[in-house]
Amino acid sequence: MAQKLSESLTDFPILNQEVNDERLVYLDNAATAQKPNQVVDALTHFYQHDNANVHRGVHTLAERATAAYEDARHKVQHFIHAEKPTEIIFTKGATDGLNLVASTYGEANVTAGDEIVISIMEHHSNLIPWQQLAIKKHATLKYIELTADGELDMADAATKITDKTKIVAVAHASNVMGTVTPVKQLAKLAHDHGAIFVGDGAQSVPHMPVDVTDLDVDFYAFSGHKMMGPTGIGVLYGKEDLLQAMPPYQYGGEMIGFVHRDNSTWAELPWKFEAGTQNIAGAIGLGAAVDYLTNIGMDRIQAHEQQLVDYLLPKMEAMPGVTVYGPQDPAKHTGVIAFNLDNLHPHDVATALDMEGVAVRAGHHCAQPLMDYLGLVATARASLYLYNTQADADKLLTALQETKEFFNHGTVKAE
């Protein structure tokens, strides 16, 4: 039976605390999500009962660890609807996965005069690898612009993606603007011009149903810690034929077939790309997070977050002195809300909100070209997840109003 969202609140003891004598309201989920007891318990159980290195070991603990590790791979495969478990590569995170593609497929297929197309709102993890690849290969890096309301400009995409394009790499959901991009349409546009499409799913996989087969993406990377799994674990999905043709990303143990004095052969997929001892516990913890999300249901999680956005976003947009960035229509906005308050520095806003127990992020959010595009240095950012409530949204609104009054009038909250 699917778990009720209201029941899930008890699974996160970290949220049951006070910060600065105020009830904690955690709204920094785009940076990392909190971990339910079920994930923490899975990690503890592994280390207390099954801890051993995976693959090739014949003793009982090694066999149990290997089974749990590979079972996590199958869970991820079904979670994102990949066709085969061999298309699931465990990585350190989305950043590692995107660098893997740039360093292997990109190195082998991009040459001088080719084009790489990304969007202006990319996280640095999906920008710098392509920027540096373009510099190294004397290729051209092109940016898809945004519409006036913060959506990806598909008319501009149609002009930027040409027969010279080899790679199109775009985030499924922006970590700043809250914009969801039409990945399926972009992938088709790339394929029509003979290019591949790389999706950054860091802000989408934790929050909405994702079907990589239906989207027809060639590669798709995401992080475990943003979907309530452990840190240091992530996933790269890749179409099997592309992964087969790519050289290894790293060399060493676990990824070899046979090593001779003068040459070596490589292991089969997916292990060709998993050199050395992997984050075994992290993968098992990620599998537990997948179980947790699946038990609740991604459709229900997306609907819950949308209800919160429908409630919160219009109120923030109507608040004097608050500027919200990204689509103004809540239906086109994820639970990531970037904003500024009056002429205050975002760090001052975040510090003031923290004094009210409200945790938000402030800075350029690893998206400096986007900040420059918007004419900003930084923003504050509130980001929602399945354990957030309307009471949390109200606390943010109240804390924003009190912050505004404090800086405008020098008043302090009554004790």
Please give the sequence-ordered ranges of beta strands (E in DSSP) within 298-388, or none if there are none: 322-325, 336-341, 358-359, 361-363, 379-383
Q: Helices 390-409 and 298-318 meet at what angle, rounded to 10? A: 30
CA distance 200 to 204: 8
Cα 357 → chain centroid: 25
What's the maximum distance between 2 C-alpha atoms anywhere in the chain?
75
Residue-wise burial string across 137-170, b where 16 or more C-beta atoms lie within 10 A, e elsewhere: bebebbbbebeeebbbbeebbeebbeebbbbbbb
Tell me which of 9, 366, 376, 397 is the catalytic residue: 366
Q: What count of other Cβ atoms lies within 10 Å of the Cβ of residue 318?
A: 9
Identify whether 366 is a catalytic site residue: yes
CA distances from 390 to 6, 29, 208, 227, 309 (A): 12, 16, 19, 21, 10
Phi and psi dihedrals of 339, rounded to 5? -155, 165
209-239: burial string, b at 16+ Cβ within 10 Å, e else: ebebeebebbbbbbbbbbbbbbbbbbbbbbb
Catalytic residue set: 366
